[in-house]
Amino acid sequence: MERPRPAQWRRLERELWRGPLAYGFDDEFQGWMLKRVKLLIGRMFHVGYIIQGMWMLLRRHRWSA
């Protein structure tokens, strides 16, 4: 899977700031987990990542999950 383009990353980051409740995940306390971010990216951009790829992507942009 290729890296998201800058515009895609900005869009994803805006959505991450909205929080998991905005996307129907029912436990705000858990926050964004790698699996949830993976599902969100799949919904938004119709692409797939493996969990390790999600971790590297988020770390590269100074996010944690």
Range of the domain at 17: 6-61
- CB-based contact 48:16 (threshold 8 Å): no
Residue 48 counted as domain residue: yes
pLDDT at 28: 63
Task: Tally the domains of the chain.
Answer: 1
Tell me the whole-structure pTM to 2 decimals: 0.81
The answer to whether residue 15 is domain-embedded is yes
Query: Helix H segments across 1-65?
Result: 6-18, 34-45, 51-60
pLDDT values of the chain reduced to their tens digit, one per residue, 65 residues? 567 888 999 999 999 999 998 888 887 677 888 999 999 999 999 988 888 988 998 998 898 87
Domain membership of residue 25 (yes or no) is yes
